[in-house]
Structure 1
Amino acid sequence: MSGSSRETTRFAPRVKGSGVQKVYEQLKASILDLSLEPGAPLDEVSLAETFGMSRTPIREALVRLAAEGLVSQLPNRNTIVAPIDFGALPVYFEALTLMYRVTTRLAAGARTRAHLEVMRVHQAAYARAVREGDVLGMIGHNRNFHATIAEAGGNPYFTGLFIRLLDEGRRILRLYYYKSFNDHLPRKYVDEHDALVAAIEAEDAELCDRLAAEHASQIVAQIQRYIAVDRTRELSLASGA
């Protein structure tokens, strides 16, 4: 992705006021859906022009994004969208799977009727996105569904960590869906989400743990298959003569 000024105009209209939160939210959304690709430059001057404000709120928004690991500052003080560290995926998957399990298990013992209602709202939105083939919708609603489960568990430390992991995973899933889309697994995830909600409502912690572990395992395997695909196996180099 080239030309930070040209790129930033694609995702953000001008906004008025201090706008730190708006800049933060719009940049974050563009990073997570890969409108701003890993490694893309984030020039404060160009961003300030795009958003129609001074560099101070831009700088503050970038600091927040850096704290979440979504942007990186280079030794020359230039800022870029943080690269995706594929070498760290094994430990990322470990943390993600653990958070799926612990947050779902805790939700079984602490959920309220209001939590269940919000889970079902996000689940319905996810199912609708699957039916419509809306990739960004699926990724976003899936994140919100599991974030609500974490919030129902009542541990803000687990919730904060899990949301960060879910957001980081949105970039990885978007890479996967760039190349191909097969709705078999998303349709299966609809049923698995329904089963998770039913287990949480029944306050069955053991079942929640098992279902969450199986759900996380399939997501991890889905991403691993994409990363490990070898397209050269079916590539013929034989002469056509």
Structure 2
Amino acid sequence: MSKVEVKTQKQAKGLGARHVYETLKKEILTLALEPGTPLDETTLSQRFAMSRSPIREALVRLSADGLVEMLSNRSTLVAPINLAEFPRYVEALDFLQRINTRLAARHATPDDIKKMRALAKAFDDACRANDYLAMSATNRDFHMSIANAGRNLYLARSYGQLLDEGRRILHMHFDYIRRSDTDALLNPEHYEMIDAIEKRDISLADRLAHEHTRQFHNRFMEFLRARYDDDFEFELETPISGSED
């Protein structure tokens, strides 16, 4: 086999793995594949009509993203969402959101500000289109534009990982927010944060970042309470024995 043929095969394999990765990632983030769903390589190989090698490569990439768990018995599951750890998640998110926003207020350039405004608008456009996948993606991109403007690669990288982990949590309550208030998903806070960063008001940028995290926390807790109430709403069609007057 020639070097050209080998290179072509590797490219085809890479494209196949990328297609599987992107498809499964979308399904996991939108909860079409629910937490805990098994991902069998043989079944996926049949579904995508390709060998198990690119399937395995895609699953390894998803594992690195924290979206799947590859167990010791060689089985793979969609990673669970650990709601018991949600307060600790928000605690970490709040810290990294605040420090990255503070750094952006110190170091952001006019080009950084321009990019932030474009991404804030992209998020609003996704909200108006009711495209939840685009909403979670553009929300992440907006916040990462702030982190990148802070010029600290290590803090930005850790922040990006938390934002990725939170995308499924966002999808869990998008419908609830939309039903509660049509315009509630539009985010004027994004523009307020940009203005504070542009003015180099570090204290205000920090406060707005903290309030933004708190809003995310409060909305998700409201969603959980609403789901709990919905699950337990029922009417007694017949009286319970002994309760009649």
In the alignment, which of 9, 18, 32 is matched to residue 14 of structure 2?
A: 18
Structure 2 stretches lacking a partner, 5+ long? 1-10
CA contact (8 A) 1:18 1:57 kept: yes
* Alignment root-mean-square deviation, CA: 2.4
1:136-167 per-position Cα deviation (integer Å, ceiling 9, x unaligned): 33222111111111111111222121112111
In the alignment, which of 36, 58, 78 is matched to residue 39 of structure 1?
A: 36
CA contact (8 A) 2:29 2:133 kept: no
Deviation at residue 177 of structure 1 after TM alignment: 2.4
Alpha-carbon distance in 1 for matches of 2:25, 2:154: 21
Structure 1 stretches lacking a partner, 5+ long? 1-14
Secondary structure of 1:38 counterpart:
coil
Q: For residue 182 of structure 2, what is the amino acid of its counterpart? A: D
1:28-62 per-position Cα deviation (integer Å, ceiling 9, x unaligned): 22211212221122121232333343322221221
Alpha-carbon distance in 1 for matches of 2:63, 2:208: 34
- What TM-score do the two structures reach when normalised by structure 1? 0.83
Q: For residue 168 of structure 1, what is the amino acid of its counterpart? A: E
| 1:50-129 superposed matches below 5 A | 50-129=47-126
Deviation at residue 81 of structure 1 after TM alignment: 0.6
Aligned length: 225
1:130 maps to 127
Alpha-carbon distance in 2 for matches of 1:18, 1:138: 28
Alpha-carbon distance in 2 for matches of 1:133, 1:22: 24
Q: For residue 115 of structure 2, what is the amino acid of its counterpart? A: V
Alpha-carbon distance in 2 for matches of 1:22, 1:103: 33
CA contact (8 A) 1:32 1:168 kept: no
Q: For residue 108 of structure 2, what is the amino acid of its counterpart? A: R
1:182-201 per-position Cα deviation (integer Å, ceiling 9, x unaligned): 334323x2x11111111111
Deviation at residue 170 of structure 1 after TM alignment: 1.1
CA contact (8 A) 1:24 1:61 kept: yes
1:186 maps to 185
Secondary structure of 1:36 counterpart:
coil
CA contact (8 A) 1:34 1:174 kept: yes
* Residue 151 (structure 2) pairs with residue 160 (structure 1): no
Instruction: Work out the percentage of aligned pairs sharing the same amino acid.
Output: 43
Q: For residue 221 of structure 1, what is the amino acid of its counterpart? A: N
Secondary structure of 2:77 counterpart:
strand
Deviation at residue 239 of structure 1 after TM alignment: 4.1
1:7-47 per-position Cα deviation (integer Å, ceiling 9, x unaligned): xxxxxxxx944223343333222211212221122121232
Alpha-carbon distance in 2 for matches of 1:194, 1:17: 42
* CA 26–110 in structure 1, closer or farther in 2 if over 3 Å, else same: farther
Deviation at residue 101 of structure 1 after TM alignment: 0.7
Larger Rg: 2
